[in-house]
Amino acid sequence: MGSLRFPFSFSQPATTRFPSGAFSPGSIACSVAVSAAIGAGISAGISISQNSTNPSLHSALNSFLSNFSRSSPLWGSLSLSDSSAAVVTESKTGFSFPAVLKDSQGLLGIGLRRKAVFGLKNIDVYAFGVYADDNDIKNFLSEKYGTLLTNELKQKEVTQDLMESDISVTVRLQIVYGKLSIRSVRNAFEDSVGSRLKKFGGSENKELLQKFTSQFSDEYKIPRGSIIDLSKEKGYVLRTTIDGKEVGSVQSQLLCRSILDLYIGDEPFDSKAKEEINLKLASVVTK
């Protein structure tokens, strides 16, 4: 296994080095939880070096880690069971997201979808993570912003460009609320997705909404812990899988745009997540 190095600097600069070989393979090798408790004032430099058999994973992981160490406020805790299985844990729900999905898509940010019921209390419906390939992002965005510095780029709404691009993006949802009925799910996306279809398409687009929702027949169960991947693939194909099983796909630029708008658009479900994603995109482009 590779060697891991975690130089943390606190107010009294100190370096902690974990000797390689101190952890037995197969067990939880190393777990780093950077919690809000040690939050303010901490500047953590996290780096990972190893002999990886998967260079794209390695680079995605490194870029993820470098972003993580810079991001403030920290969005969750990071743990490494071994370097190829790095996950980020959403702090409120405890749900974990792999740092890399589909071999090359790196995690850009995580957040929480909440919903007010009866106009009163908010329930946590699902945690989500947004992923895209570093190289795709770099290629696409550097054409437009190639001459800008990271700090200049961070002021731009780079998420807007990502939404409009034909880059593959995956939004992973992990169901938190255990009592979702298919009916309440349908009603919810008639509101959320429906309002975006109308906003971007200029009409109700009932047919398109119907095409999307008809994929989710009553036989699907989505208990707590279910994983739903909404993948925007090249050519504006939106493919949905539930717990790894394909449910269907719909080819529509408008639908892809509307779905991404829920997470990185003007009125996102979790504005902190959108901010993180924007910063991450800026840092990938100018790296």
- Name the site residues for ligand DAO (rule: CB under 6 A): 113, 115, 117, 125-126, 173, 179-180, 182, 184-185, 188-189, 192-193, 216, 220, 222, 228, 230, 242, 262
Q: Are 99 and 63 contacting, i.e. CB atoms less than 8 angstroms apart?
A: no
Q: Tell me whether residue 44 or residue 228 sits nearer to ligand DAO (CB atom).
A: 228
Q: Tell me whether residue 4 or residue 222 sits nearer to ligand DAO (CB atom).
A: 222
- Rounded to a whole number of angstroms, the minimum distance from the CB of residue 278 to ligand DAO is 20
- Rounded to a whole number of angstroms, the minimum distance from the CB of residue 9 to ligand DAO is 39
Tokens representing 2 are 């590779």
Q: Tell me whether residue 140 or residue 216 sits nearer to ligand DAO (CB atom).
A: 216
- Rounded to a whole number of angstroms, the minimum distance from the CB of residue 189 to ligand DAO is 4
Q: Quick one: which of 218, 234, 230 has its CA closest to 174?
A: 230
Phi first, then psi: give them for residue 107, nearest 5 degrees: -70, 125
- Rounded to a whole number of angstroms, the minimum distance from the CB of residue 274 to ligand DAO is 14
Instruction: Tell me: cis bond preceding 7? Omega within 30 of 0 counts.
Output: no
Q: Tell me whether residue 185 or residue 250 sits nearer to ligand DAO (CB atom).
A: 185
Stretch (H or E) spanning 62: helix 55-70
Q: Tell me whether residue 115 or residue 211 sits nearer to ligand DAO (CB atom).
A: 115
Amino acid at 110: I
Q: Are β-strands 105-117 and 100-101 bridged in parallel, bridged antiparallel, or unpaired?
A: antiparallel
- Rounded to a whole number of angstroms, the minimum distance from the CB of residue 147 to ligand DAO is 37
How many helices and strands (H and E) does the chain possess?
A: 8, 16
Residue 115: strand, helix, or coil:
strand
